[in-house]
Amino acid sequence: MDVLTNDADLSERWVREFLRRLGYMLAAEHAGMPPGDLRDSVGNAAADIIDMVHAVDEDEANSPPALRLVE
């Protein structure tokens, strides 16, 4: 999981969308798993991935528009 989250270039939209779908898929699998350490690990990984992607999305939404030179 660290390979995906540490090396991901979140500035690219397709990477964020891929990680978002992965996080939601893990969350769905977590819901059907029996209690145990694996279930806890999958749930934590899903939450971490989803939170990471949402944080980047919120930063982009709250950032000021890019400035450009007007001649």
Residue 15 pLDDT: 86
Per-residue pLDDT of the chain (71 residues; tens, 9 = 90+): 665 666 677 888 888 899 999 999 999 999 899 999 999 999 999 999 999 898 887 777 676 667 777 87
Contacts of 49 by beta carbon, 8 Å cutoff, 6+ apart: 1, 4, 5, 19, 20, 22, 23, 26
Residue 13 pLDDT: 85
Residue 22 pLDDT: 92
